[in-house]
Amino acid sequence: MSATMPAPVVAPVRTPSTRTVLMCRPDFFTVSYRINPWMHPEKPTDTSLAVIQWEALYRTYLDLGFDVKLVDPIEGLPDMVYAANGGFVLDNIAYGASFTYEERQPEGPAYMDWFRANGYEVRVPENVNEGEGDFLLVGDAILAGTGFRSASNSHEELAAIYGREIVTLELVNPNFYHLDTAIAVLDPSPAPGQAANIAYLPSAFSDSSLRVLQQRFPDALLATEEDAAVLGLNSYSDGYNVVIASRAKDFERQLRERGYNPIGVDLSELLLGGGGVKCCTLELRR
């Protein structure tokens, strides 16, 4: 009697959706100070290479049919390329950023000026927060990071503005100081009957926050330490296509197995400042 072979696992059909995002060219990118473990100002950076790599990401989004908006870079603000930190935009309301470190604080007003000029209702922050770097929309809830950058009382402010459930998650590894370096939102608006899907790095979170993730997302992809170390989780998805760091090979494999289409890009120069794909991408939601 022959053994019964297990049925093959069939990945769900994924559906892409059109996205509108805000980006900032790294015309003034360099690493001239150190505010995270990735930054080493004693090592040279290549601004022209950063621009070339960023343009590859920009073209990838255009090829996917995204509506890509641009905010003008400002000389003296080398980290402005990391547009995700510039605010959080939902329901046509832009909650502005208030940066932890003095070096980045002028970015907050610069992004809020852009939001106003482009028809968004701007809420000036009362508490320290670094925008979509720490705030991720998943279904009807907002995952909100704290521990290194965004203050936990900004989560209360976020809840009051948007009226959504806020799920506070504590980061404990300084290499993953923003939530978008430790969690990738793969399908924030899944089809009826399907659960929202994320990927994350377990070691980036406190024990209590890890339990929350395990309970809310039992089918999440778990990233390897190696892929996280090249900011593989700092990715951006339209529900089917997932733009990731080209060196995150196991993450790429897992995505394909789950029915996603991973697209690798090389942002190794921008990694010198502690940012990757998602850091360069702020989603604009009307």
Q: Exactly one of 24, 40, 155, 178 is catalytic; which is it?
A: 178
- Strands 241-245, 261-265: parallel, antiparallel or unpaired by DSSP? parallel
The torsion of the CA quartet 13, 189, 248, 7, rounded to 10 degrees, works out to -30
* Assigned token pair, 44: 């040279």
DSSP H or E stretch at residue 227: helix 225-228
Asked if 278 and 235 count as a contact pair (C-beta separation under 8 A), the reply is yes
Q: Where are the alpha helices (DSSP H) in 47-152?
A: 47-63, 107-117
178 is catalytic: yes
Residue closest to 136 by CA, chosen among 177, 93, 97, 168: 168
Q: Exactly one of 24, 155, 279, 280 is catalytic; which is it?
A: 279
Which long-range contacts does 97-105 make (Cβ < 8 Å, 24+ apart)? Answer: 97/125, 97/129, 97/130, 97/131, 98/125, 98/126, 98/127, 98/128, 98/129, 98/154, 99/128, 99/130, 100/35, 100/128, 100/130, 100/148, 100/149, 101/35, 103/33, 103/35, 103/79, 104/35, 104/77, 104/79
Phi, psi angle pair for 231, to nearest 5°: 55, 40
* Assigned token pair, 209: 């926050």
* Assigned token pair, 228: 């996280």
User: Would you tell me how many other CB atoms lie within 10 Å of the CB of residue 118?
Assistant: 12
279 is catalytic: yes
- Residues, the chain: 286
User: At 62, which amino acid appears?
Assistant: L
Question: Which active-site residues does the annotation give?
Answer: 178, 279
